[in-house]
Structure 1
Amino acid sequence: MSKRQHSHLDVDRIGKRPRRVPKKHLYLVLDDWHKGFSIHKIDVDALQDATTELHYGFPDPAALRLAAPVNRLHMDFAAMGSNIFITTNPCSPNTPTLVFDTETAGLTMGPRPPIQIIDTTTFTVATGGMLYALTHRHVHEQHSFEAMSWAPMDNDEPWPSPTMRWSWKSVPSPPPFAMDDVITSYALHPDGHTIFMSAHDLRYHHLPKGTFSFDTRNSKWRCHGDWALPFQGQAYFDNGLDAWVGLHKDGYICSCEVASRSSTSAVEPEWKVTKEKLFLKDPERRLDFARASLAYMGDGSFCLVEVVLRKGVEFKCAFGDRGCVLHMSTFGLKYDRRGELQTTRHHTNSYVVSKYLPTVSPQVFWM
């Protein structure tokens, strides 16, 4: 039996019969049609076996297409377990969430988002069966921290109903951020229950406000010093490097020593960046508001996606039919003999795609 086939088999508890473990895929979210969004299911094995020449679209139809209730309105996407949660109209307090189960390809209705996170979500992170969302409604307004989970329903319903449902609740301890603070980076500690996040004062972007952590077990916050994690957005823990890995400014990949959960220090953790750029390689083709997205696939493997202008297309003509190119790169990381961070198994596929919303970035999930 090949190694690839064997990786999808497991042994049941009595050890007699192997059972098939669902194979994971990349799920890519794009604003690639004029009425809304698409979620593309991508086999990473096929991706790595494909040629590196420019492709026109994807080989398979989208796993799910979503028409926006309001024309040219963005949607919010977040992932937890095998589910992708979709807020189809993040500007409306009456909009329910859609839940796309990637294991069954089923679509169902989810919980209505609380008013605190309507059009305000700064980031989401999943851990311990909970999806945490930090919000910042407007400048000069206080942050809030919300959590969604699969929880029992109230017993006073006047009609028969399920006993469990997805529901939101506010975290008991309010975030320790000032009204003008903006969260620039965040990461889940390898303990699985401590979320680290770094803040900058919106008025002085070059000065870090500090790095804080939130313990999901007791809802307590801790300040770790007036330094900032060196990432843009979310970072992921790589067991092989024993470090967080995320996107650094100007197109580089960064690894960072995991911060201690208990210490408070004025010295930031040690971090390193790759020598070569993996994104933002051509400034002339850059889309200013569309950021790259990183997903961790386990076993030291990552996927990076970025949308850029198609060669020969001017910015004013980019948004519509096939005006952009999506670069999808898979790679690993290691330290060389001198301790420098370098990529391994680097493979990039590029696809001509359509894009309709200038401020929307592609998102990629591994699930």
Structure 2
Amino acid sequence: MSRRFVNLMVDRRIGRYRHPATTLHRINPWRCFHPTTQQALAAALTENSNGVTVEDARLPRAAISFYDPLQEETIGEMHFASLGSSSNGIISMDPDGNTFLYDGASRGLRVMPAPNSPKHSSVFLTVGDGLYVLEKNPGTQEDHSFEALIHRAPSDGICFTNENWYWRSLPPPPYAYEDYECQKRNGRDPYVIRAYTVVGDSQSQIWISTRDGGTSFDTTSGVWSEAGDWALPFYGRVEYAPELGLWFGFTSEGRQFAACDLGAASPTSPPALRKVWDELAQPLLLPLGGGKFCVARMFHLAQKGWCRGKSIDDYLDVDTFVVLTGVEVVRGSRGALKMIRHKSRPYCVGCTTAQLL
């Protein structure tokens, strides 16, 4: 399904008392593409284009603001995740576990049930209509470090509040029960999740990998199993493109844009990268459908001045630019993969930080 918008979350200070908040800006990513692939190829050949067309862009007005909690005893940051294949839903969760759902289509805000335990540093994955949240360094099941926000249809005959949304506590990866000191090697933490994705015929299996290997969770049976004595060749979130039958992400070494057939992997046969492109390194990746992707990179430009929020000894005025680039991956006549870059559009978000959903 094609995405109509990408969601840019920008940290700001709002109002008279400069209350910390995060604003949501919904951007049309299709403005980063030429009307046709042929036009993109022609633009890449023009003089001084550097292979991609750069267009001026203006940050859209914020759709909604999420205010951060002000309690001094609160530890942690606000978490945000997109919900659903269209990414019209945005889940916000504060350090105490208070959860809200913003519906971009109706522009409505809904109070959601709180998870069994607050989350501090987690990965978020959408499987079907559910949102799966797993701490990057998971504890035991008593810690509720792995939970899923599930929607149950009213036809099940069980009545729940919040239109049948509820949290289900799930078993953590088996290694969470092993002795930490015995597993620790060379001073490196083997627990921390380094890459994660969704695989399977119906996209119902969650794959995670640490430094030591890969583990798979079947969302239907609720059972963990060893994916292989190998780690995914990626870093961070890995996205599936059904049109190409491949998974895309950024390599664990060098953070380069790459494609891989995870469906061909087995416990004894690690996944191999099919193609690596040197042109794009260390951005964020969002699939749009039809073999097209939106990649985002952040740049910080400093000039003489003073930036609010910095230390008193830091007199640099820093502007942050989020640059969105449209990328298309196609197959050649012999099945070879080719990447075509379309347009880049920079959005200035001021002296702050941002993330893309």
Q: TM-score, normalised by structure 1?
A: 0.72
Report the identity percentage: 25
* Residue type of the alignment partner of 2:169: S
For residue 277 of structure 1, the aligned residue among 263, 276, 279 is 279
For residue 5 of structure 2, the aligned residue among 4, 25, 29 is 25
For residue 212 of structure 1, the aligned residue among 212, 215, 235 is 215
Conserved 8 A contact 1:53-1:349: yes
Question: What SS does the aligned partner of 2:11 have?
Answer: strand
State whether structure 2 residue 300 is matched by structure 1 residue 298: no
Aligned to 2:257: 253
- Relative to structure 1, the CA distance from residue 339 to residue 104 in structure 2 (aligned partners, 3 Å threshold; closer, same or farther) is same
Conserved 8 A contact 1:187-1:195: yes
- Relative to structure 1, the CA distance from residue 68 to residue 255 in structure 2 (aligned partners, 3 Å threshold; closer, same or farther) is same
Matches within 5 A, 1:120-159: 120-121=121-122, 123-136=123-136, 144-151=145-152
- Relative to structure 1, the CA distance from residue 236 to residue 137 in structure 2 (aligned partners, 3 Å threshold; closer, same or farther) is closer
> How far is 1:76 from its partner?
0.4
Conserved 8 A contact 1:325-1:353: yes
Question: What SS does the aligned partner of 1:250 have?
Answer: coil
Structure 2 Cα separation of the partners of residues 112 and 140 of structure 1: 19
Conserved 8 A contact 1:230-1:254: no
> How far is 1:362 from its partner?
1.0
Matches within 5 A, 1:1-367: 24-33=4-13, 35-48=20-33, 52-55=54-57, 57-58=58-59, 60-70=60-70, 74-81=77-84, 82-87=88-93, 89-90=94-95, 92=96, 95-115=97-117, 117-121=118-122, 123-136=123-136, 144-151=145-152, 162=161, 164-171=163-170, 173-178=171-176, 179=180, 180-191=190-201, 192-200=203-211, 209-248=212-251, 249-260=253-264, 263-265=266-268, 267-280=269-282, 292-310=283-301, 312-313=302-303, 317=307, 323-335=319-331, 341-356=337-352, 362-364=355-357
- Relative to structure 1, the CA distance from residue 279 to residue 63 in structure 2 (aligned partners, 3 Å threshold; closer, same or farther) is farther
- Relative to structure 1, the CA distance from residue 356 to residue 73 in structure 2 (aligned partners, 3 Å threshold; closer, same or farther) is farther
Conserved 8 A contact 1:198-1:228: yes
Q: TM-score, normalised by structure 2?
A: 0.73
List gaps (5 residues or longer) in structure 1: 1-6, 9-22, 201-208, 281-291
> How far is 1:315 from its partner?
12
Of residues 295-304 and 138-147 in structure 1, the stretch that sits farther from structure 2 once superposed is 138-147
What is the CA deviation profile of residues 267-307 of structure 1, one whole-angstrom value per residue up to 9, with x for unaligned ones?
Answer: 42110443333245xxxxxxxxxxx4211111111111122
Question: What SS does the aligned partner of 1:182 have?
Answer: coil
Question: What SS does the aligned partner of 1:309 have?
Answer: strand
* Residue type of the alignment partner of 2:119: I
* Residue type of the alignment partner of 1:235: V
- Relative to structure 1, the CA distance from residue 162 to residue 140 in structure 2 (aligned partners, 3 Å threshold; closer, same or farther) is closer
Structure 2 Cα separation of the partners of residues 140 and 127 of structure 1: 22
Conserved 8 A contact 1:333-1:341: yes
Structure 2 Cα separation of the partners of residues 270 and 166 of structure 1: 39
Structure 1 Cα separation of the partners of residues 277 and 164 of structure 2: 47
Conserved 8 A contact 2:325-2:341: no
Question: What SS does the aligned partner of 2:342 have?
Answer: strand
Structure 2 Cα separation of the partners of residues 143 and 225 of structure 1: 25
> How far is 1:317 from its partner?
5.0
Question: What SS does the aligned partner of 2:278 have?
Answer: coil
- Relative to structure 1, the CA distance from residue 144 to residue 334 in structure 2 (aligned partners, 3 Å threshold; closer, same or farther) is same
> How far is 1:246 from its partner?
0.7
Structure 2 Cα separation of the partners of residues 343 and 316 of structure 1: 41
Question: What SS does the aligned partner of 2:280 have?
Answer: coil
* Residue type of the alignment partner of 1:194: Q
- Relative to structure 1, the CA distance from residue 170 to residue 268 in structure 2 (aligned partners, 3 Å threshold; closer, same or farther) is same
Conserved 8 A contact 2:76-2:120: no
* Residue type of the alignment partner of 2:299: V
Structure 2 Cα separation of the partners of residues 315 and 182 of structure 1: 39
> Number of matched residues?
307
List gaps (5 residues or longer) in structure 2: 15-19, 36-52, 181-189, 311-316
Structure 2 Cα separation of the partners of residues 318 and 247 of structure 1: 33
Of residues 240-249 and 325-334 in structure 1, the stretch that sits farther from structure 2 once superposed is 240-249
- Relative to structure 1, the CA distance from residue 152 to residue 210 in structure 2 (aligned partners, 3 Å threshold; closer, same or farther) is same
**What RMSD, in angstroms, separates the aligned Cα atoms of the two structures?**
3.7
> How far is 1:198 from its partner?
0.8
- Relative to structure 1, the CA distance from residue 317 to residue 251 in structure 2 (aligned partners, 3 Å threshold; closer, same or farther) is farther
* Residue type of the alignment partner of 1:349: R
